[in-house]
Amino acid sequence: MKQILRWFILGGTLFFVGKALKEHWVEVTAVRIEPIGWTIMAIATGITLLAHIWAGWVWTGIFQEFNQSVNSSEFIQVYLKTNIAKYVPGNIWHYYGRIIAAKHAAVPAGVATLIVLLEPLLMAAAALIIVLLCSQFLAENMSLPLRMLQFLTLLAVLFAVHPRFLNPVIHVLFKLKAKKSDQTTSPNKVNRLIRYPLKPLLGELGFVGLRSTGFILTLFAISPLNLSQIPLLVGTFSFAWLLGLVIPGAPGGLGVFEATAIAALHHHFPDAVVISATVLYRLVSILAETAGATLAWLDEKLTAN
């Protein structure tokens, strides 16, 4: 059923994007990018690449919250090389690769898993914070119950990354591991979250901010923008990216991000501009992720030599 649901969600969102593209195909093909626009697109790609490098650095900081020592440059390389694997069906292989790399660095398996899974949870919290701050621009007439639901959801996410919640989870994982291996393994202070992961959370705010900047520049490359529209675009991007992160069945948020962004922005910009921007930004994202993985691989080879 889960597999069917994943394919249903992916198929439905891609159908929506395809339908919108078909209906506005003439307008989309009429969109032209000036030479300065291509320069802006290149800058957007560079900022998106910087966002992924930044995310890799923030990820290495999460290890420190568990008193785990890893080589930052090496694990940034791991992050960039595995990042491209999120487009493989299943949307879990980038996490799997990072867990394996952490285990090879002598990080306990249970803690490695929590560190890897804590990162998208912090990303989701950061995106939700930005959505809440920009919610008045996303929906001026948002009802009070919906605002309360957003706030309660944020509180739940922030509590979920608190040591009082995560450390008991670590304890259970160690007990299960010990039972499976017939050992008396128990968690110690080194294998516990020693404080609230505030620095990584702030780092993820920077990551979402950089990603939204890349999207805004992509839109700016094909259409003029006003400063008053920036909060709307930041909030819309954060919301669309958040849904792409949490909804199952969409590798890398493919389809979900585009459908959400198109639905949220079509009242504020011409449909052809919105569709072109979302499709172009997907290409920008894939290009930046591929460049990041390639640079990490080359750096690894040069370091080894």
* pLDDT digits 0-9 by tens, 155-210: 887 887 788 887 787 777 666 655 655 554 444 554 677 788 899 999 999 999 99
* pLDDT digits 0-9 by tens, 116-129: 888 998 998 899 88
Report whether 152 contacts 97 (CB < 8 A): no
Report whether 296 contacts 80 (CB < 8 A): yes
CA torsion sign for 3, 6, 10, 213 is negative
Which residue type sits at 17?
V
Q: Which tokens belong to 211? A: 């990603």
**DSSP per residue, 224-265:** ---GGGHHHHHHHHHHHHHHHHHSTT-GGGTTHHHHHHHHHH
Phi/psi of residue 183, nearest 5 degrees: -120, 170
pLDDT at 21 over 60: no
Give the ranges where the chain is alpha helix by DSSP (H). 2-23, 25-30, 35-65, 72-83, 93-104, 109-133, 135-138, 144-160, 163-181, 198-222, 230-246, 256-265, 271-304
Q: Which among 12-16, 78-82, 243-247, 272-276 has the top mean pLDDT?
A: 78-82
CB atoms inside a 10 Å sphere around CB 41: 22
Q: Could you identify the residue written with the tokens 């996303």? A: 138
* pLDDT the model gives residue 106: 87
- The residues, ordered by sequence, that sit 6+ positions from 224 with a Cβ below 8 Å of its Cβ are none
Q: If you average pLDDT over residues 4-20, what whole number do you get?
A: 52
